[in-house]
Structure 1
Amino acid sequence: MQQDTDTLTVPLDLEPTNRADAGASAIGRWVAAARPKTLLLAATPVLAGIALAAITTGTLAPLVAAATLLAALAIQVGTNLHNDAADFERGTDTPERVGPPRATAQGWFTARQVRTAAHLTFGLAFALGLLLVARGGWPIFLVGVAALASGYAYTSGPRPIAYGPFGELYVLAFFGITAVAGSYYLQTLTLDRPAVTLGLALGLPAAAVLLLNNYRDLETDVAAGRRTLCDVLGRPRARVLYALLMLLPLPLLLGAGLPGATWLTLGALPLGLLLIARLYHGAQGAQINPMLGQTGLYQGLLTLLMIVGFAFGGSA
């Protein structure tokens, strides 16, 4: 169920920044508008929750797993599209942006077309969610409704989440705890502390992606009336927070009581340290763009190494 950003539903700018390359055909432009590279952040925590459930119980409900993953991806794409139209109408997407091209701002499609596509995608997520409710009951219904509502509220309503300082907390909740614990619950119909801790660990680097996104866009966000956490903290403190968000997952994973060789997750540490060093050495503007995808990759690498560690069987 599930970070200018992409959670379970946060629209994150991880696409190429060359506006001339953003898909000549209508299909290519719709694909670009959906921001496919952001889907890693939606898929990773779901796969982690499913993997933990499978290794813990020795069983897997494959249809439930597939529906969970597809619902998370649909919510992500719907949020990306809705964010595209909403930011254009609010005047956030100006020529001063250094992020990737936006479909509405580029004139590829009208705001109404993009919003209609978002509604259809959210509708698909809702339909898949009904199947999951049949499995998980009211807890999953409430989680699904909250995820869909948050997708709309991220850039809509009188107080959009993206325009305040709580975006990173939102990402931590949906890209991390809810996604992992919800996926685990749908497989096992129980909820254990290791699943919640795993969700917290994977939600931290997801929040780091949003923080980095807002770090890049600080000046244009302020001009558009967005008071993000980066604006509240200032760039020096934001760099400290980014480092914490990248490093804290490792002790959490090592101490979560997960099965297998959790020490393998330390293999992601060099990438985390490299990204922290780049930010401290003055990366800014367009230099941040590749770091967004690499921060998402760090989350994915943590998950991959954790799953590989499950195969070792013993305790860490």
Structure 2
Amino acid sequence: MSGTELSQTRAWVLAARPQTLPAAAAPVVVGAGLAWHAGVFAPLPMLAAFVGAALIQIGTNFANDYYDAIQGADTEAREGFTRVTQSGLIEPQSVKRAMYLTFAAAIGVGSYLVYVGGLPILVIGLLSVVSGIAYTGGPYPLGYHGLGDLFVFLFFGVIAVVGTYYVQATAVLADPLSTTIPPNTVTWTAFLASLPVAALSTNILVVNNIRDREEDATTGKRTLAVRFGYRFSRLQFAGLGGLAYAVPVWLWLAEGFAATVLLPLVTLPIAAVLTRTVWTETSGAALNPALETTGKLLAAYSGLFGLGLAL
């Protein structure tokens, strides 16, 4: 392989940002654990849910790389990880084409899930793809108007976990191609279990927005950190972390789950160190490692949570 080919391969890996894939895997792990607990675990729909979620994550990463560059949100002052469009490593149109191809692949995988889960999954899948593009693209980019946090909380948390549980429960309890939501396939417990994943996934974005606050303010990207300042975002980070660790306790005390559901609490020391870093730092040198660690925390928490739910 030539040096140019190696450079291009590395550039595409950078654009896909595989370090963000825990945000795609986490809701599937939790949804699978809950499905096992409820006796509706279905491996093929679960696997398809993961592949679809990963493709939507990667497609969203391509979209962010492309649209942030062409809209001027990525500048030389950026302290985050390398963006291939802004840095000239890959032609903008190639990144845009990769974005559409990845979303098309997600829709292809989703066609099986639509067969299993029916019309509700078709609606959720199309909304997920459109929102992935609209996060930084389109006439009203969500991430540029302080709506990125809500997008992540809903689509990479609540909808992803509940949707993973739903396709498994529907495969076991209902006929294919349903036009309505079958009984016992969307549950209060699934919603509760989605909240920690939603909270910790959003905290990845919160760290990113704190790190980029000064640059975003100069380029017109009105994240919540830009709108309301460092203190608000730090309180947001702490509050979302608190929500994540309160849910297992609630499931144990109020919902009748076994004490194994408390397994994620062993990651509390990591969360405490991260909170201290986020509360005191603003530089990329400090927050880039914190960003990676928040992703690892999400993966560890979700693995333990899924296991605790299943047991």
Name the TM-score, length of structure 2 as normaliser.
0.89
Letter of the structure 2 residue corresponding to residue 268 of structure 1: T
Deviation at 1:288, TM superposition (A): 0.4
Aligned length: 289
Question: In the alignment, what sits opposite 1:262?
Answer: 261
Question: In the alignment, what sits opposite 2:213?
Answer: 218
Secondary structure of 2:76's counterpart equals: coil
Question: Given the alignment, which residue of 101, 115, 128 partners 1:120?
Answer: 101
Per-residue CA shift, 1:104-159, capped at 9, x if unaligned? 12212111011001111100000111110000001111100110000110111121
Question: In the alignment, what sits opposite 1:176?
Answer: 157
Structure 2 CA distance for aligned equivalents of residues 264 and 131 of structure 1 = 33
Relative to structure 1, the CA distance from residue 283 to residue 221 in structure 2 (aligned partners, 3 Å threshold; closer, same or farther) is: closer
Question: In the alignment, what sits opposite 2:121?
Answer: 140
Question: In the alignment, what sits opposite 1:54?
Answer: 36
Higher helix share: 2
Question: Do 1:194 and 1:258's aligned partners in 2 also have CA atoms closer than 8 Å?
Answer: no
1:29 aligns with 2:11: yes
Secondary structure of 1:104's counterpart equals: helix
Letter of the structure 2 residue corresponding to residue 47 of structure 1: V
Question: In the alignment, what sits opposite 1:17?
Answer: none
Question: Do 1:247 and 1:272's aligned partners in 2 also have CA atoms closer than 8 Å?
Answer: no
Per-residue CA shift, 1:19-73, capped at 9, x if unaligned? xxxx94322221121001111111111121022102211x532221111110100
Question: Do 2:32 and 2:306's aligned partners in 1 also have CA atoms closer than 8 Å?
Answer: no
Across the aligned residues of Structure 1 and Structure 2, the Cα RMSD in angstroms comes to: 1.5
Structure 1 CA distance for aligned equivalents of residues 289 and 37 of structure 2 = 34
Secondary structure of 1:100's counterpart equals: coil
Question: In the alignment, what sits opposite 1:97?
Answer: 78
Question: Given the alignment, which residue of 15, 38, 62 partners 1:81?
Answer: 62
Question: In the alignment, what sits opposite 2:224?
Answer: 229
Question: Given the alignment, which residue of 243, 247, 260 partners 1:252?
Answer: 247
Question: In the alignment, what sits opposite 2:233?
Answer: 238
Deviation at 1:251, TM superposition (A): 1.2
Letter of the structure 2 residue corresponding to residue 81 of structure 1: F
Question: In the alignment, what sits opposite 1:301?
Answer: 300
Question: Do 2:65 and 2:85's aligned partners in 1 also have CA atoms closer than 8 Å?
Answer: yes
Structure 1 CA distance for aligned equivalents of residues 229 and 98 of structure 2 = 36
1:39 aligns with 2:38: no
Question: Do 1:99 and 1:286's aligned partners in 2 also have CA atoms closer than 8 Å?
Answer: no
Deviation at 1:285, TM superposition (A): 2.8
Relative to structure 1, the CA distance from residue 177 to residue 274 in structure 2 (aligned partners, 3 Å threshold; closer, same or farther) is: same
Question: In the alignment, what sits opposite 1:67?
Answer: 48
Deviates more, 1:118-127 or 1:292-301: 292-301
Question: In the alignment, what sits opposite 1:290?
Answer: 289
Name the TM-score, length of structure 1 as normaliser.
0.88
Structure 2 CA distance for aligned equivalents of residues 227 and 221 of structure 1 = 7
Gaps of 5+ in 2: 171-184
Question: Do 2:31 and 2:306's aligned partners in 1 also have CA atoms closer than 8 Å?
Answer: no
Structure 1 CA distance for aligned equivalents of residues 282 and 93 of structure 2 = 36
Letter of the structure 2 residue corresponding to residue 221 of structure 1: D
Structure 2 CA distance for aligned equivalents of residues 224 and 33 of structure 1 = 21
Q: Percent identity?
A: 37
Deviation at 1:258, TM superposition (A): 6.9
